[in-house]
Structure 1
Amino acid sequence: MTNDRVNLRDIARRAMAERDLFPDFSSAAIAELARIHAPADQTPNTRDLRKWLWASIDNDDSRDLDQLTVAEQRRDGSVTVMVAVADVDALVAKDSALDAHAGHNTTSVYTSGGIFPMLPEKLSTDFTSLNEGQDRQAIVVELLVAQDGSVTASTLFQALVRNHAKLTYDGVSAWLTGTAPAPDAVMAVSGLDAQLRLQDQAAQRLKTRRHQQGALSLETIESRAVFDGDVLTRLRVEEKNRAKQLIEDFMIAANQATAGYLRHMGIPSFRRILHSPERWERIMEMAARWGERLPPEPDARALEAFLTKRRQADPVRFPDLSLAVVKLIGRGEYVLDESCDGAPEHFGLAVKGYTHSTAPNRRYPDLVTQRLIKSALAPTSPPYRIDELRYLAAHCTEKEDDAERVERQLRKSAAALLLGSQIGHQFDAIVTGSSDKGTWVRLLDPPVEGKLITGGLGLDVGDTVHVKLVSTDVERGHIDFSRVPY
């Protein structure tokens, strides 16, 4: 009997090994884990905030819960927003065997063959996860969101929190947009419905202000493998929704506040940056197709205005344009920031002084940042030397790239499984990559990416083409097309 799940997991393990990512934990890490029997105890000088209506909002199948959120209306119309981040450092000590594994891979790897967590599930989905109905230690970022969406004050502290409801993006989003009733988990907690609407109001303020400042409205198509038992049946498109945007807006604000706090305390730390796009001229050419003129130098506000107009004009094809822009802007990276003004900048978010701090169960930079925060709160000497941080910034960028390549290969392996019976079929596609190494395209339906082995001359990112499926290779995640005339 076919077991696609097992086959894909085997491919994922081999792909990780090729990228020097560890699919398994060392015997030393497992021995360390065996000595951990419970969540971390409450520490001194920790606020008890368990009675607040904290809740998590995440994917349907998420078990590693890194954040909880809550909000409070103020008399002047502003809103206090608090983001609680799981205190992972409380159980994963720096330089331990568990830390060594996390510091090597630097991220959980999510593939169609399964999840390879950065930390063992006993921690990431239990003892260090902000699970429903459980008391947990957390680092809290408190934000004061004004009516115009500006964050006028922020502070960080340690607290004991309790997740009163484990909610899902789809369920909360459908309710917030009026297309479905409130989820049962919302109605089961008195006052949680009003609490979530207040959070949504604050998130909309943050979002509006960011986009006024030039944050980019990008909506790329992401797919996830869907199984019937162990048989792969289809690829499901993951789309942005109101609840995802709510959490995204809060995390961006919390990450920026964290960077500002560490800078204020004089502690060098990571920054997550995205440089101005090197291929701005190509973005200008794409805009010109629709009669839009962008300035000769990279300008986030001008690009956002163009994207907004295109989304309104053609919402169905907007994800294809978004994908092309994402490819042309390039990839984010981690750097060590020792500046005084919060530089450098994240082009896509239109913010300075931005870091990663809100997902320490699954991203190592966030765990490093958490340790820096705790040293500032104590206060004690920073746990990392400058040269360590500089090395880790480059290492985390490299391993993140490796992990994303594995995830992309497994998406293609899953797609190759599905398309194996359609050799010779023709599809509409968009060019997603063009370089000396070749030309890559993504089908519009199903959302599958592959290499254009013939007919790629003269094509560039964002062009639309008609292609024929030539071959598939499930093991290597290769899907080959040839260009055919319309």
Structure 2
Amino acid sequence: MVKIAEQENFDEKILGIVAKGKRNPVGVEELSRKLKVAKGDQDAFEKRLTRLVEAGELYYKRRGFVLPKNEGLTAAEIVRVNSTYGFARPVGADGDLFIPGRGLMGSLPGDMVLLKTYPSRKEGSLGEGEVVSIAKAAACRFTGVVSRNQDFFEVVPDKMLGFPVRLVSGKANRYKEGDKVLCEIVSRGPRHYNHKARVIEVFGSSLKADNCAQSLIRLSDVNVDFPAVVSEAAEHINASGIHPKERENRLDLREEVIFTIDSADSKDLDDAVSVKKTAEGWELGVHIADVSYYVHPQSPLDNEAYERGTSIYYADRVIPMLPKALSNGICSLNEGEDRLAFSCLMKLDPTGTLISYDFQKTLIRSKVKGVYSEINAILAGEASPEIMEKYSAVMESIHLIDELCDLRLQKKRERGSLELVTCESKIILDENRDVKEIVPRGTGRSENIIEELMLLANESAATFALDKHLPFCFRVHEPPSPEKLQNLSELLGAIGQDKRGIQPGVSSLRLDEILQKVRGTKYQMIVNSQMLRTMSKAKYSEKNIGHFGLVLQNYAHFTSPIRRYPDLFIHRVMSAYLAGSGVERLSKRFGKVAGPTANQSSEREVVAMTIERDCEDCYKAEYILHHLGEEMEGVVSSTTNFGIYVMLPNTVEGLVRAQTLGDSFQYDGRMEYKDMLSPRRYRIGDTVTVKVMGADVSAGKIDFEFV
């Protein structure tokens, strides 16, 4: 008999036999006999059956198996539950099914279940379902706040679970009422109120955003600390410095006027620039830390960086992709220190059009650690004598890159690159790590300069890879979907804006025309908000499909290998090519890993962005907690069927719940609430006055009411 592991399409054979039985269960012995399973292979066979059951492909019924579809059942994953209802997403479907509380059978988010489905009772509503079987119970972990319920403790979950869960007593109850905790379900009952959980970790008071941020990071299974072997490897590399032979093998640019521009508190400086104006036009250098020289494939350092995918930034902290011995040490392009770089040396004509590029392994020495705010002051003519003295060695270059940036920005506008207005926040903490202030994170001239120069290097790297037919990891952005374009078109029509051409195939130039037309008007926030929702999510891919938002046929991420794994990956590919590896050899070495690397990096980027956003919400809620009862002016930023979001000038956003408006207000489903008994209405973009009613730091939620 052939062993299970050696049989082709074994799962399909199992499902085929069960399918022939229709609604008559097929037992384990019958399946084993028909499939000629060896006696020594019986355990492996039964494990295979268990996996099929857990995946929802088989249903165990009366001592045998049937196909779920033959029983009228649908495999689905529970995605959210509350005390009275839940939602399940059928396998392979985009939409969710509504599950009434009585039909949940105690299931929890992440559970794979089999459902009986029913048509919706209301036209236009979700279909409904009822859990018949929990095929595979998920390991349910969640964060929440400890609460006392008479003579026992329970935890009120932040998200995912919409009901309190009773806590089992441990050897020592280290938690107290009001603590932020990480829990896991340890006992399930037939109904949600029968479930019990235990506390895994206590973070401290739920009123402190720092504690809540730590719980979010812990729940996401993000590694904050590096394994000892990784830290030791990084320390050794940093202590070893640059090998003398490596200095000799590189293009020596240490005498060139090269400098970095970053925020004042940045320590991981992975890019530097240089510029010259010539009779033929411009010579521009973008010099990137040569991280791939130090981090070798499949090494402990590389494996850890791959798993992390990106650095995570929140408040004043960073969870780096690489240990600080590298990110802040030997790889950081620090002022006055020799550093290995991977340089993109470009030539542009007098109009700023790229003529050629050349990628070189270089040795550089940054002349100055430039700071955005200081260079902005120089360009605005407002710099102090001390700042002017600091930048004296690079002053000419600063004005040259400013001039070149004007040319590049003009080309950007001509091709229709989207200029979306976004509101980023800067969180300022005091010495006790309490939130002192929240302010908008401004973007000045020097930030725009660096962005444009990095875009040019990134585009050149992608073009280089395509020209040389290299296996690669591109940064791609698909055009908007027809459904999202329809929503945008309806909004534009509702506010009296020109919606012509807003249909599949619309150009980025047309969309940018709309943004420019409403800039500075009361409709700017409305249109920007809807435009952001219209855009697809940019991601990484081994296949180049272009970047819709930037209006570039070729694009990749080359300029941040300290904090983004795709950049490190493409550095590796390009370095191998420049070292003499042929395309065929490179395809064998990197071809099979380009796709998985792109997928992993895209997934980790989403995780990082979610953590950063959720942590920021907690800090904002802590800030507003100190302003309860105060009246503040803000702008209606968005509307939903459950209320109106209002954003304050400092970027803090809160919800005015629909029930606080009164029964006479009706929502139009798009952008405004209107009072049917008076002229009053609240529309996206309106300036309003709100009163701070409450803040839940743990959940990152803020409540306002209109004054």
TM-score normalised over the length of structure 1: 0.88
Question: Which stretch shows the higher mean deviation, 46-55 or 419-428?
Answer: 419-428
Aligned to 2:294, the other structure's residue is in SS state: coil
Q: Which letter maps to 1:203?
A: C
Matched, 1:349 2:349: no
Q: Which letter maps to 2:422?
A: T
Partner of residue 299, structure 1: 507
Question: Which stretch shows the higher mean deviation, 169-178 or 245-254?
Answer: 169-178
Alignment of 1:387-398 (within 5 A): 387-398=592-603
Against the structure 1 CA distance between its residues 434 and 280, is the aligned structure 2 distance closer, same or farther, given a 3 Å change threshold? farther
- How many Å separate the matches in 2 of 1:390 and 1:287? 38
Partner of residue 266, structure 1: 469
- How many Å separate the matches in 2 of 1:232 and 1:108? 23
Q: Which letter maps to 2:216?
A: A
- How many Å separate the matches in 1 of 2:559 and 2:496? 39
Q: CA deviation at 1:147?
A: 2.8
2:372 to 164, 169, 172: 169
Partner of residue 425, structure 2: 223
Partner of residue 340, structure 1: none
Matched, 1:136 2:339: yes
Matched, 1:69 2:69: no
Alignment of 1:356-371 (within 5 A): 356-371=557-572
* Alpha carbons 2:208, 2:622 under 8 Å: kept: no
Matched, 1:60 2:281: no
Q: Which letter maps to 2:263?
A: N
- How many Å separate the matches in 1 of 2:589 and 2:492? 45
* Alpha carbons 2:561, 2:568 under 8 Å: kept: yes
Q: Which letter maps to 2:217?
A: M
Could you list the per-position Cα deviations for residues 87-129 of structure 1 after superposition, in whole angstroms to 9, with x for gaps in the alignment?
Answer: 1122222222222221111111111162111111111111110
* Alpha carbons 1:413, 1:478 under 8 Å: kept: yes
Could you list the per-position Cα deviations for residues 332-384 of structure 1 after superposition, in whole angstroms to 9, with x for gaps in the alignment?
Answer: 111112xxxxx412121111110001011111111111111111111234385
Partner of residue 437, structure 2: 234
Against the structure 1 CA distance between its residues 292 and 170, is the aligned structure 2 distance closer, same or farther, given a 3 Å change threshold? farther
Q: Which letter maps to 1:378?
A: A
Against the structure 1 CA distance between its residues 95 and 325, is the aligned structure 2 distance closer, same or farther, given a 3 Å change threshold? same
Aligned to 1:269, the other structure's residue is in SS state: coil
Q: Stretches of 4+ moved more than 6 A in 1? A: none
Q: CA deviation at 1:248?
A: 0.3
Could you list the per-position Cα deviations for residues 49-75 of structure 1 after superposition, in whole angstroms to 9, with x for gaps in the alignment?
Answer: 011110111111111101110111110
Q: Which letter maps to 1:19?
A: S
Partner of residue 649, structure 2: 445
Matched, 1:430 2:653: no
Matched, 1:326 2:532: yes
2:605 to 396, 400, 414: 400
Question: Which stretch shows the higher mean deviation, 126-135 or 108-117?
Answer: 108-117
Aligned to 1:132, the other structure's residue is in SS state: coil
Matched, 1:472 2:695: yes
* Alpha carbons 1:131, 1:166 under 8 Å: kept: yes
* Alpha carbons 1:310, 1:318 under 8 Å: kept: yes
- How many Å separate the matches in 2 of 1:233 and 1:464? 28
* Alpha carbons 1:149, 1:208 under 8 Å: kept: no
Partner of residue 150, structure 1: 353
Question: Which stretch shows the higher mean deviation, 65-74 or 42-51?
Answer: 42-51
- How many Å separate the matches in 2 of 1:171 and 1:385? 42
* Alpha carbons 1:12, 1:113 under 8 Å: kept: no
Question: Which stretch shows the higher mean deviation, 421-430 or 382-391?
Answer: 421-430
- How many Å separate the matches in 1 of 2:410 and 2:304? 40
Instruction: Report sequence identity in percent.
Output: 24
1:15 to 216, 224, 227: 216
Partner of residue 91, structure 2: none
* Alpha carbons 1:287, 1:306 under 8 Å: kept: no
* Alpha carbons 1:8, 1:113 under 8 Å: kept: no
Matched, 1:33 2:234: yes
* Alpha carbons 1:454, 1:481 under 8 Å: kept: no
* Alpha carbons 1:66, 1:361 under 8 Å: kept: yes
Q: CA deviation at 1:24?
A: 1.4
Q: CA deviation at 1:451?
A: 5.2
Against the structure 1 CA distance between its residues 46 and 263, is the aligned structure 2 distance closer, same or farther, given a 3 Å change threshold? same
Q: CA deviation at 1:426?
A: 6.3
- How many Å separate the matches in 1 of 2:296 and 2:639? 41
- How many Å separate the matches in 2 of 1:208 and 1:137? 33
- How many Å separate the matches in 2 of 1:408 and 1:252? 25
2:614 to 409, 424, 428: 409
* Alpha carbons 1:70, 1:81 under 8 Å: kept: yes
Q: CA deviation at 1:284?
A: 3.0
Aligned to 1:225, the other structure's residue is in SS state: strand
Matched, 1:104 2:307: yes
* Alpha carbons 1:13, 1:23 under 8 Å: kept: no
* Alpha carbons 1:294, 1:302 under 8 Å: kept: no
Q: Which letter maps to 1:16?
A: I
Could you list the per-position Cα deviations for residues 225-257 of structure 1 after superposition, in whole angstroms to 9, with x for gaps in the alignment?
Answer: 112323321112112211000000000010000
In structure 1, list runs of 5 or more residues that go unmatched: 338-342
Q: CA deviation at 1:322?
A: 3.2
Could you list the per-position Cα deviations for residues 159-208 of structure 1 after superposition, in whole angstroms to 9, with x for gaps in the alignment?
Answer: 00011001111111122133x12774553455521111111111221111
- How many Å separate the matches in 1 of 2:568 and 2:500? 39
- How many Å separate the matches in 2 of 1:24 and 1:432? 38
* Alpha carbons 1:431, 1:459 under 8 Å: kept: no
* Alpha carbons 2:525, 2:684 under 8 Å: kept: no
Q: CA deviation at 1:445?
A: 2.5
Q: CA deviation at 1:44?
A: 5.1
- How many Å separate the matches in 2 of 1:433 and 1:327? 13
- How many Å separate the matches in 1 of 2:392 and 2:650? 43
Aligned to 1:352, the other structure's residue is in SS state: coil
1:214 to 398, 416, 421: 416
- How many Å separate the matches in 1 of 2:654 and 2:347? 46
2:684 to 439, 456, 463: 463
Q: Which letter maps to 2:579?
A: A
Instruction: State which structure, 1 or 2, has the greater radius of gyration over its C-alpha atoms.
Output: 2
Partner of residue 541, structure 2: 335
Q: CA deviation at 1:319?
A: 6.0
- How many Å separate the matches in 1 of 2:530 and 2:385? 36
Against the structure 1 CA distance between its residues 367 and 405, is the aligned structure 2 distance closer, same or farther, given a 3 Å change threshold? same
Partner of residue 125, structure 1: 328
- How many Å separate the matches in 2 of 1:183 and 1:319? 39
- How many Å separate the matches in 2 of 1:272 and 1:370? 14
Aligned to 2:254, the other structure's residue is in SS state: coil
Aligned to 2:291, the other structure's residue is in SS state: coil
Q: Which letter maps to 1:20?
A: D
Aligned to 1:90, the other structure's residue is in SS state: helix
Partner of residue 192, structure 1: 394
Aligned to 1:71, the other structure's residue is in SS state: strand
Q: Which letter maps to 2:539?
A: E
2:457 to 230, 248, 254: 254
Q: Which letter maps to 2:499?
A: R
- How many Å separate the matches in 2 of 1:100 and 1:199? 38
In the alignment of these two chains, the number of paired residues is 471
Against the structure 1 CA distance between its residues 442 and 105, is the aligned structure 2 distance closer, same or farther, given a 3 Å change threshold? farther
